[in-house]
């Protein structure tokens, strides 16, 4: 036994760490039931339960899976047990996760059969990066919504040797979100954040890494971190000259695929910054007013083929001035146009001009016109594997722009309830008596919310959607809830409630991959219950 007078050795960090310390990348002494750091900060201390060799019992039926996370509101209970979602969404219900509290990394996965998933040590990385399991999940699920890294077919070419190690680390971390075992996110997270190191070269790859982290932080509900990474990425991109067409040519080292990746990186910054700015109710976004001559992206099929790419001749100025169909327009280009129109809406909404009606009419006409020219992402609806994610987002962003444009001018803004969430900052005012009819602006932005919620019904799985679809669905719930407080026709109220349930279902599916969707879903449910519909 050690002499009490002998000073004890300081406790060494344990290989076991609690969830809060892991998420903050801090050392943990692993004391039970709460570590020293959590005790001192009064933080709830939780440890990931070991599930080595875990097998799921056959008794986990579909109804039991729903019971694991059943909402208390009767309005939602009936719907969540029904089979009203599209087939691909219905197939996703085997992996429901609890949503009553903010998500942790220790949520057990549920399976309806007796097949157990491989242990973390068995599924990490492979020598051939193109067949790395998490890299495959990245390309199968995430890349289609944010296609700016080099395409998968380029992974087996000499081009891949130019990519720094932290890029595949981030890709693996993103891919792990589509795998049902939470341990893989823990395993790949630290390496993904090495891009933030001061020793990392300040080049285009760092811009790509920061952009990916910004999207990830948003999808985790870490808005301040997302904004910070986004700001650093944009500042670095402008410092490097990525807003000039010469950057892609000079920095591609003779690879037309890498040159296209650089162009897409700049335009991805443009789109993502616009979405984040709109959700934070900002006056505009920086790249909206930034002069650029970067060529617009090529079509997705050509890019994903990783073959020789001839850059398009069009720039953003050409897009503004000429929509003639003398040459093919990529779906990514339609997405850029939608982000540009969103910037116009933000500009109008924060203008100090006295008479804005004519400008509002012009922007409204621009949004409607862009939808009329937009090839529908639903044209291939019967073949879910071919659904164009870029066109899907172009529709999503345009419907959001319509909501943002008409809401401040609508009588529905006087509906009485709290609507401030992680995703939306609509100004909902209190007034008595409340409006009893829908004016023209209300009708327009309610129609936009209807069309936006319809995107949930597309046959391909909602998990393939961009994490930003979370905030679009939250907006739908808010708009339809406000309408329920105003309309009086019983059949219309029931229709609105059905749309609310549809959007909640979409959030439920997105929540299997992204923590923000789980948190926002719970916020929307609480809001709906507080309203008392």
More confident residue, 430 or 403: 403
- Examine the pLDDT at 201 and tell me if it is beyond 60: yes
Which two tokens mark 426?
Answer: 């609509």
C-alpha 446/C-alpha 449 separation (Å) is: 5
In angstroms, rounded to a whole number, what is the distance separating the alpha carbons of residues 198 and 195? Answer: 8
Q: What percent of the chain has pLDDT over 70?
A: 73
Q: What radius of gyration do the chain's Cα atoms show?
A: 24
Domain boundary among 283, 312, 347: 283
The pTM score is 0.75
Note the pLDDT of residue 71: 31
Q: Are residues 158 and 272 in the same domain?
A: yes
pLDDT digits (tens, 9 = 90+) for 7-55: 444 444 445 788 777 766 677 888 877 888 777 776 777 776 443 333 3
For residues 37 and 141, membership in a common domain is answered with: no
Q: How far apart are CA 276 and CA 271, in angstroms?
A: 9
- Asked whether 322 and 340 are in contact (CB, 8 A), the reply is no
Task: Give the end of a domain, one of 252, 283, 314.
Answer: 283
One domain for residues 163 and 275: yes
Lowest pLDDT segment from 26-40, 59-73, 99-113: 99-113
The pair of structure tokens assigned to 401 is 């722009």
- Say if residue 418 is in the same domain as residue 278: no
- For residue 336, being part of any structural domain is answered with no
* Count of structural domains, the chain: 3
Given a contact cutoff of 8 angstroms between Cβ atoms, the answer to whether 507 and 422 are in contact is no
> Can you give the residue range of the structural domain that contains 207?
132-283
Query: Is residue 3 over pLDDT 60?
Result: no
Count Cβ atoms below 10 Å from residue 382 Cβ, excluding itself: 9
What pLDDT score was predicted for residue 353?
A: 81
pLDDT band at 482 (very low <50, low <70, confident <90, very high): confident
Query: How far is it, in rounded angstroms, from Cα 92 to Cα 176?
Result: 17
Residue 33 and residue 137 share a domain: no
CB 263 within 8 A of CB 311: yes
Q: Given this model, what pLDDT does residue 387 score?
A: 81
Instruction: Please state the φ and ψ torsions of residue 420, each to the nearest 5 degrees.
Output: -95, 120
CA distance 470 to 507: 6
Structure-token pair, residue 410? 């609508």
Q: For 323-363, how does the pLDDT look when each residue is reduced to its tens digit (9 = 90+)? A: 554 567 899 999 999 999 999 999 998 888 877 888 999 99
Residue 330 maps to a domain: no
Residue 20 has a pLDDT of 74
**Where does 42-90 have alpha helices with state H?**
62-67, 74-80, 87-90
pLDDT of res. 422:
62
Give 260-278 as a DSSP string. Answer: HHHHHHHHHHHHHHHHHHH
- Same domain, yes or no, for 155 and 279? yes
Is residue 91 in some structural domain?
no
Report yes or no on 273 lying in a domain: yes
Confirm whether 268 is domain-assigned.
yes
pLDDT band with cut points at 50, 70 and 90 for residue 237: very high
- Residue where a domain terminates, one of 246, 262, 283: 283
Q: Which range, of 85-99, 114-128, 459-473, averages the lowest pLDDT? A: 85-99
pLDDT score recorded for residue 11: 44
pLDDT at position 499: 94
Residue 384 burial (CB count, 10 A): 15
Q: Give mean pLDDT, residues 153-161.
A: 89
The reported pLDDT for the residue numbered 500 is 93
Collapsed DSSP state (helix, strand, coil) of residue 227: helix
> Are residues 35 and 146 located together in one domain of the fold?
no
pLDDT at 309 over 50: yes
* Mean pLDDT score of the chain: 78
Contact 176, 136 (CB under 8 A): no
pLDDT at 184: 84
Same domain for 147 and 19:
no
Give yes or no: residues 274 and 137 share one domain. Answer: yes
Distance CA 411, CA 443 (A): 10
The pLDDT confidence band at residue 321, using thresholds 50, 70 and 90, is confident
State the average pLDDT over residues 512-523: 92
Is the pLDDT at 411 greater than 90? The verdict is: no
Q: For residue 262, tell me if it sits in a domain.
A: yes
Q: Is residue 147 part of a domain?
A: yes
Residue 109 pLDDT more than 80? no
165 & 262 share domain: yes
User: At 20, which CATH number?
Assistant: 4.10.240
Let me know if residue 222 belongs to a domain: yes
What pLDDT band is residue 259 in, cutting at 50, 70 and 90? very high
């Amino acid at each position: 036994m050690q002499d009490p007078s002998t000073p004890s050795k300081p406790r060494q960090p344990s290989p076991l760490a609690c969830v809060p310390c892991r998420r903050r990348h801090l050392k943990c002494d692993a004391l039970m039931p709460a570590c020293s750091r959590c005790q001192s900060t009064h933080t709830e201390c939780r440890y990931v339960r070991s599930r080595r060799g875990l097998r799921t019992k056959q008794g986990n039926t579909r109804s039991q899976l729903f019971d694991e996370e059943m909402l208390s509101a009767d309005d939602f209970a009936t719907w969540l047990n029904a089979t009203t979602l599209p087939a691909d969404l219905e197939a996703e219900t085997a992996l429901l996760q609890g949503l009553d509290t903010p998500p942790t990394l220790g949520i057990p996965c549920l399976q309806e059969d007796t097949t157990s998933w491989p242990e973390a040590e068995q599924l990490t990385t492979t020598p051939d990066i193109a067949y790395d399991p998490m890299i495959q999940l990245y390309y199968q699920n995430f890349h289609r919504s944010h296609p700016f890294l080099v395409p998968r077919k380029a992974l087996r070419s000499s081009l891949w040797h130019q990519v720094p190690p932290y890029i595949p680390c981030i890709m693996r971390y993103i891919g792990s979100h589509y795998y049902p075992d939470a341990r893989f996110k823990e395993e790949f997270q630290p390496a993904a954040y090495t891009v933030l190191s001061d020793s990392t070269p300040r080049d285009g790859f760092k811009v790509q890494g920061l952009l990916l982290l910004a999207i990830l932080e948003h999808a985790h509900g870490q808005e301040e971190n997302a904004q910070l990474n986004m700001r650093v990425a944009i500042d670095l991109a402008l410092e490097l000259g990525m807003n000039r067409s010469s950057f892609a040519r000079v920095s591609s080292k003779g690879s037309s695929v890498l040159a296209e990746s650089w162009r897409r990186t700049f335009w991805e910054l443009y789109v993502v910054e616009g979405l984040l700015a709109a959700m934070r109710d900002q006056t505009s976004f920086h790249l909206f007013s930034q002069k650029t001559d970067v060529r617009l992206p090529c079509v997705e099929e050509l890019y994903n083929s990783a073959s020789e790419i001839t850059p398009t001749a069009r720039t953003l100025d050409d897009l503004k001035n000429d929509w003639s169909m003398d040459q093919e327009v990529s779906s990514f280009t339609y997405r850029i146009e939608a982000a540009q129109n969103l910037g116009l809406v933000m500009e109008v909404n924060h203008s100090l001009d006295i008479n804005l009606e004519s400008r509002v009419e012009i922007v409204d006409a621009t949004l409607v016109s862009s939808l009329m020219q937009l090839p529908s992402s639903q044209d291939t609806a019967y073949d879910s594997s071919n659904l164009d994610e870029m066109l899907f987002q172009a529709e999503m962003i345009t419907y959001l722009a319509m909501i943002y444009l008409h809401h401040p001018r609508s009588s529905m803004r006087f509906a009485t309830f709290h609507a401030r969430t992680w995703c939306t900052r609509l100004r909902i005012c209190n007034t008595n008596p409340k409006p009893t009819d829908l004016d023209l602006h209300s009708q327009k932005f309610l129609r936009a919310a209807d069309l936006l919620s319809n995107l949930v019904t597309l046959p391909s799985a909602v998990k393939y959607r961009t994490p930003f679809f979370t905030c679009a669905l939250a907006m739908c719930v808010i708009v339809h809830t406000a309408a329920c407080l105003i309309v009086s026709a019983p059949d219309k109220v029931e229709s609105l409630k059905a749309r609310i349930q549809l959007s909640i279902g979409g959030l439920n599916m997105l929540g299997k991959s992204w923590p923000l969707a789980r948190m926002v879903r719970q916020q929307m449910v609480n809001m709906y219950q507080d309203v008392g519909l």
